Amino acid sequence: MIETKNVDFYYAGFHALKDISIRMESRTVTALIGPSGCGKSTFLRLFNRMNDLIDDTRVSGECLIDGEDIYHKSVAVDELRKRVGMVFQKPNPFPKSIFENVAYGLRVNDVRDKSFIACRVEASLRAAALWEEVKDKLRKSAFALSGGQQQRLCIARALAVSPSVLLMDEPASALDPISTSKIEELIADLKRDYTIVIVTHNMQQAARVSDKTGFFMMGELVEFGDTRMIFSDPLKEQTRNYVTGRFG
């Protein structure tokens, strides 16, 4: 379960997130939508503390995962990131073999057991619906895969360290329709084991894959609720305008 309470976020002087409170249940898919620059990525990157990499940023309020404040001093950021996986907008495999890409998270975790690694790699590739396509070329460079395959490889890579949360920032925006639908099917599958938060600009996609949807504008969470409701009968006028395409 992911929860934020009155979270504000600042890039130096810029107030990027304003008083956000939200609650995302375990094993659900939450979609974040909103016009460009409204703070969706910033919000998503709060949960694996990727924003920490940027100088001069500040968070206030509470950010909880399974009840634990992830911005507490006692939290080890690298441990947190093993629990909270992330898939980026552009596929970003390492310039290594397919196998080593998936094994990366285990290797940095000091896992040495070869058979265990091989097992995890296969399981992750299967979970990412990529196993059948790559099982014969695990030692080939990851760059030899298509964009869609690369993105599923990145998902497999994130799954290999057994996270409980999966953050996806426009995971299908660089892909063709077929690869996109594969990713969407995958999300529906993964929902059984993972809490998923996905940022997307594609309204149909949000409607198809998510249980809940949050609509952001200008750093504010305008509305958050059941996906069906957001897309058919939102409470706010702004939301209605946005999802019907009359805005942005």
Ligand X SMILES: Nc1ncnc2c1ncn2[C@@H]1O[C@H](COP(=O)(O)OP(=O)(O)OP(=O)(O)O)[C@@H](O)[C@H]1O
Whose CB is nearest to Mg ion? 41
Interaction between residue 16 and ligand X (CB under 6 A): yes
**Closest CB 240 distance from ligand X, rounded Å:** 20
Mutual angle of helices 98-107 and 147-159, in 10-degree steps: 20
**Closest CB 203 distance from ligand X, rounded Å:** 13
From 35-43, 74-82, 186-194, 212-220, give the range in contact with other proteins by CB under 8 A.
Answer: 74-82
Distance separating alpha carbons of residues 182 and 17, to the nearest angstrom:
32
**Closest CB 221 distance from Mg ion, rounded Å:** 15
From 29-37, 75-83, 90-98, 181-189, give the range in contact with ligand X by CB under 6 A.
Answer: 29-37
**Closest CB 104 distance from other proteins, rounded Å:** 6
The DSSP bridge partners found for residue 165 are 84, 195
Buried b (16+ CB within 10 A) or exposed e, 77-104: eeebbbbbbbbbeebebeeebbbbbbbb
- 154: enclosing H helix or E strand: helix 147-159
Q: Which residues contact 82 (CB under 8 A, 6 or more apart)?
A: 105, 109, 161, 162, 163
Please give the C-alpha separations between residue 120 and each of 107, 112, 178, 218, in angstroms, as whole numbers: 12, 12, 27, 41
Interaction between residue 36 and ligand X (CB under 6 A): yes
Interaction between residue 213 and Mg ion (CB under 5 A): no
- Using CB under 8 A, which residues numbered 157 to 196 contact other proteins? 157-158, 161
Interaction between residue 49 and ligand X (CB under 6 A): no
* Nearer CB in complex with other proteins: 52/185: 52
Please give the C-alpha separations between residue 132 and each of 101, 136, 142, in angstroms, as whole numbers: 17, 8, 15
In terms of DSSP bridges, do strands 195-199 and 57-65 run parallel, antiparallel, or are they unpaired?
Answer: unpaired
- 85: enclosing H helix or E strand: strand 84-87
Interaction between residue 248 and ligand X (CB under 6 A): no
In terms of DSSP bridges, do strands 2-11 and 57-65 run parallel, antiparallel, or are they unpaired?
Answer: antiparallel
* Nearer CB in complex with Mg ion: 41/149: 41
* Nearer CB in complex with ligand X: 41/101: 41
Among the listed residues 29, 30, 31, 41, the single contact to Mg ion using CB under 5 A: 41
Among the listed residues 30, 41, 48, 195, the single contact to other proteins using CB under 8 A: 48
Whose CB is nearest to ligand X? 41
In order, the DSSP letters of 105-131 are HHHTTT---HHHHHHHHHHHHHHTT-H
Among the listed residues 4, 30, 41, 213, the single contact to ligand X using CB under 6 A: 41
* Nearer CB in complex with other proteins: 148/234: 148
From 33-41, 95-103, 188-196, 205-213, give the range in contact with other proteins by CB under 8 A.
Answer: 95-103
